C-alpha cells in the first residue's frame, strides 16, 4: 500500500550533507518526492512509497548523516507529491 508523508526536521540539518543523505536513502528504498532546505533552518521532505519501504526510509532519515544533530522530527500524512523519482530542491 502506498503512503505519503511530509517530514520537517530541525536541529543541525543544513550544511552537513543532509539533503544528499536523504536522496541516497530515497533511491535505496524506491521513494518518490523531494527534500529541500527551508529558510528557517529546517529541512522539509515529502516522500511517497510502499508503506514498509517508507517506514524504513523514515527511520534512517530520522537518524541522519553523521554530522547532523536532529532535535525534532515532525511527521504528518501528506498528499502524494506527484513527482517521478526523488529530487533535491
Phi, psi of 35 (to 5 degrees): -135, 140
User: Is residue 85 helix, strand or coil?
Assistant: coil
Write out the H or E segment, with its range, that includes residue 51: helix 51-63
**Kind of pairing, strands 32-37 and 86-88?**
parallel
Rounded Cα distance, 34 and 85, in Å: 9
Residues noted as catalytic? 19, 37
Amino acid at each position: 500500500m502506498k503512503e505519503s508523508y511530509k517530514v520537517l526536521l530541525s536541529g543541525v540539518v543544513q550544511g552537513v550533507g543532509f539533503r544528499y543523505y536523504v536522496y541516497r536513502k530515497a533511491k535505496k528504498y524506491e521513494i518518490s518526492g523531494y527534500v529541500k532546505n527551508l529558510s528557517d533552518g529546517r529541512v522539509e521532505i515529502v516522500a511517497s512509497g510502499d508503506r514498509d519501504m517508507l517506514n524504513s526510509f523514515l527511520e534512517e532519515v530520522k537518524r541522519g548523516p553523521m554530522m547532523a544533530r536532529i532535535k525534532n522530527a515532525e511527521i504528518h500524512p501528506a498528499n502524494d507529491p506527484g513527482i517521478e523519482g526523488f529530487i533535491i530542491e
